[in-house]
Amino acid sequence: MKDGRVFLTVKLEKLREAVKTLRERGFQHLIAITGLDAGDHLEAIYHIARGGEVLSLRVIVPSEKPEVPTITDIIPGALFYEREVHDLVGIAPVGHPDPSPLLLPDDWSDEPPPLRKSTGGGEAK
């Protein structure tokens, strides 16, 4: 726990089950989804709140298959966050109802995601 936040790591295949369980326990407000290039893998971190409590649910995503299952049917507020993480980090939300680009131009598909360190984008200076 850090500053009133709880961090949990779940397996990719358990993401939807974990989000459903959290929602049943009152964690219904998705604050954001953070996409992270950790070098040897990617991470998707789902920040979900219940009152003043914030739980950050971390999922390790393999760089060679950068996909997570969508949670838009569980938490509709994930709609734009999932598209943003796909645009900027390249983690595709499988099953998303509208996977079109949110922030990047439609013709960006030939370029690496801008926040991917491993492909040259987002490298710290």
Looking up residue 63, the CATH number of its domain turns out to be 3.30.460.80
Residue 120 in this model has a pLDDT that exceeds 60: no
Range of the domain at 40: 5-101
| Number of structural domains in the chain | 1
> Is 79 a member of any domain?
yes
Report the pLDDT value the prediction gives residue 116, as an integer from 0 to 100: 80
Mean local confidence (pLDDT), 45-64:
95
Report the pLDDT value the prediction gives residue 123, as an integer from 0 to 100: 46
The model's pTM: 0.87
Residue tagged 């109802």 (tokens):
97
Residue 24 in this model has a pLDDT that exceeds 90: yes
Single-letter amino acid code for the residue at 6: V
> Is 106 a member of any domain?
no
> Is 121 a member of any domain?
no
Whether 7 contacts 36, CB under 8 Å:
no
pLDDT (tens digit, 9 = 90+) per residue, 66-119? Answer: 999 999 999 999 999 999 999 899 999 999 998 887 777 677 665 677 778 755
> Is 43 a member of any domain?
yes
> Is 29 a member of any domain?
yes
Whether 74 contacts 16, CB under 8 Å:
yes
Report the pLDDT value the prediction gives residue 111, as an integer from 0 to 100: 67
| CA–CA gap between residue 73 and residue 75 (Å, rounded) | 6
| CA–CA gap between residue 10 and residue 58 (Å, rounded) | 6
